[in-house]
């Protein structure tokens, strides 16, 4: 198998700072991910897990963050692509003098590992000259948590880099020069010549040679081929849909079944703005939607592990489940700022942790209940522990739906958000459907009556005569795209007059260049125009 050749991007891209988001690729082992820019620089890698300490944090601070560049001598962006139906990344550079190909992969992405391999986190890189004579560079500058580097020492077969008490083993197929706290080398590759490098936690350089590296790369490619083979989607844009599923898999945490919302922290909602949050944790809302998607694609196994994980979690809040967790299931996700860090393109502060874990977001439970039903629809296996969880969140919803909540956008004070009420209704409707299909028992009569009460409340208080649309929350005449959940969740049919009117109003007021924005920023006290208030 070989990746598609997509040509070349000629925009210069420094390994030092701020690569465009469009020039970043991901590789991972379903425990952590490496973010790699199109100039061949590892810009971000946390160890040992997604929410661990950054070892390469160049994405957020070029001076303190650490990076690993491998590619042409001059830092220039190549063209990134993936192997077909795979999570192995390829970067190509094509010039008048030479053609280079860089392959990046994180090894051992399987769910079950041998005990000896459990702590390994290994990044493999292969640089190959396909044509001509290429002058290349390897520059490896690791930094633990944006601090100074520690010692580099020679060990059998390669080098060992120590970072805050953690050892990284480095093997390379050609000699490289260790410095006091970094490794650098100038490389000259003739046509057909390759340079291999393997860096990782719990790696012994003496284990490696070119044949071992080739076997490891082939095994990783084969794993992702077999994984994507479970997807049964055959519709339009099949390649894009399959790669979307594979991107979700990259964010899954194999030891528990959790799913991180993102690979990174503090990439801004708006360049230069201060809404820069850490999303390396498992949000119930985001993860449930993603796992429902995987189920529809054919991967019910991931959804099963996710639901089993949630069913055994504790909560540090009054909700039966927190809004978000660490990927290992621990509950403390306290937020703190690193004001000394530069931030992506000057977007500060840089934050770690996320205070949203303390919020009341009753809507997130609706996405979980919806995910459980979709999982069953797609052939998932019934587990008694799932009903225990679903009945708990349904009971909580029946007790608490009248309380204000923080809502889907996690902004400002608690309100009676229309979308939160709709998702509370969804929790109860899906719980009743779950009970009907499995024969499980619960407070079914109470849930049915509460659904009626919620529906009446939303129809009475959630509609704005001024807007001629459903409103954001009960105390405003602000429009909000989250009200599109009304038809999506079956609260009202898509052809209901109020739904039709709401969709038309959203198209009129919240669409820009074919994209739907959340709400109009001026209605939340911001004077920036809609297209500049945020990038999403």
Residues near 449 by beta carbon (within 8 Å), at least 6 away in sequence: none
pLDDT tens-digit series, residues 342-359: 999 999 999 999 999 999
Q: Which residues pair with 138 in a beta bridge?
A: 70, 185
Are 426 and 437 a contacting pair, CB within 8 Å?
no
In CATH, the architecture of 238-461 is: Alpha/alpha barrel (1.50)
pLDDT tens-digit series, residues 483-528: 999 999 999 999 999 999 999 999 999 999 899 999 988 766 666 6
- Tell me the C-alpha to C-alpha distance, in Å, between residue 14 and each of 31, 65, 72, 105, 487: 28, 14, 12, 22, 46
Domain ranges of the chain: 21-228, 238-461
CA-wise closest residue to 463 among 424, 522, 421: 421
Cα separation, 317 vs 324, whole angstroms: 11
Cα separation, 295 vs 465, whole angstroms: 40
CATH fold of 21-228 reads: Beta-galactosidase; Chain A, domain 5 (2.70.98)
pLDDT at 151: 86
pLDDT at 532: 66
pLDDT tens-digit series, residues 101-137: 999 999 999 998 999 999 999 999 999 999 999 999 9
pLDDT above 50 for 330? yes
Which position has the token pair 């020069």?
177
Are 283 and 259 a contacting pair, CB within 8 Å?
no
Indicate whether this model's pTM tops 0.85: yes
Tell which wins on pLDDT, 454 or 440: 454
pLDDT tens-digit series, residues 50-82: 999 999 999 999 999 999 999 999 999 999 999
């Amino acid at each position: 198998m070989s990746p598609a050749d997509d040509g070349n991007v000629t925009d210069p891209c420094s390994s030092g700072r701020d690569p465009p988001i469009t020039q970043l690729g991901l590789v991972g082992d379903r425990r952590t991910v490496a973010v790699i820019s199109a100039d061949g620089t590892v810009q971000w890698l946390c160890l040992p897990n997604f929410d661990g300490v950054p070892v390469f944090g160049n994405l957020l601070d070029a001076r303190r963050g650490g990076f690993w560049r491998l590619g042409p001598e001059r830092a220039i962006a190549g063209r990134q692509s993936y192997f077909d139906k795979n999570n192995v990344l390829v970067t190509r550079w094509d010039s008048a003098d030479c053609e280079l190909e860089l392959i990046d992969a994180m090894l051992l992405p399987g769910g079950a590992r041998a005990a000896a391999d459990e702590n390994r986190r290994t990044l493999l890189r292969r640089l190959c000259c396909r044509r001509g004579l290429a002058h290349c560079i390897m520059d490896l500058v690791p930094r633990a948590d944006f601090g100074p580097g520690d010692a580099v020492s020679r060990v059998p077969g390669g080098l060992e880099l120590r970072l805050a008490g953690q050892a990284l083993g480095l093997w390379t197929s050609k000699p490289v020069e260790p410095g006091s706290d970094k490794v650098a080398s100038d490389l000259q590759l003739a046509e057909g010549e390759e340079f291999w490098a393997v860096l990782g936690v719990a790696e012994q350089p003496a284990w490696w040679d070119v044949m071992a590296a080739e076997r490891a790369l082939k095994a990783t490619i084969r794993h992702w081929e077999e994984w994507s083979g479970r997807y049964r989607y055959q519709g339009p844009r099949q390649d894009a849909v399959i790669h979307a599923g594979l991107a979700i898999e990259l964010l899954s945490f194999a030891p528990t079944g959790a799913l991180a919302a993102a690979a990174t922290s503090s990439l801004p909602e708006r360049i230069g703005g201060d809404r820069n949050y850490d999303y390396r944790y498992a949000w119930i809302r985001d993860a449930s939607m993603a796992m429902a998607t995987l189920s529809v694609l054919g991967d019910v196994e991931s959804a099963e592990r996710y639901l089993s994980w949630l069913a055994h979690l504790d909560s540090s809040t009054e909700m039966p489940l927190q809004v978000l967790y660490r990927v290992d299931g621990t509950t403390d996700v306290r937020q703190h700022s690193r004001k000394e860090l530069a931030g992506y393109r000057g977007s500060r502060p840089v934050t770690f942790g996320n205070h949203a874990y303390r919020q009341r977001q009753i809507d997130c439970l609706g996405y979980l209940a919806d995910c459980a039903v979709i999982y069953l629809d797609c052939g998932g296996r019934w587990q008694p522990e799932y009903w225990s969880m679903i009945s708990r969140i349904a009971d909580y919803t029946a007790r608490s739906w009248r309380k204000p909540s923080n809502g889907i956008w996690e902004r400002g004070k608690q309100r009676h958000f229309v979308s939160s009420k709709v998702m509370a209704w969804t929790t109860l409707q899906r719980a009743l459907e779950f009970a009907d299909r499995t024969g499980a028992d619960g407070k079914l009569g109470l849930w049915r009556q509460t659904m009626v009460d919620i529906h009446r409340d939303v129809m009475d208080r959630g509609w704005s005569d001024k807007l001629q649309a459903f409103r954001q929350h009960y105390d405003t005449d602000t429009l909000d795209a989250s009200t599109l959940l009304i038809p999506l969740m079956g609260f009202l049919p898509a052809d209901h007059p109020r739904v039709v009117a709401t969709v038309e109003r959203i198209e009129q007021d919240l669409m820009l260049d074919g994209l739907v924005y959340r709400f109009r920023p001026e209605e939340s006290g911001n004077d920036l125009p809609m297209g500049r208030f945020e990038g999403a």
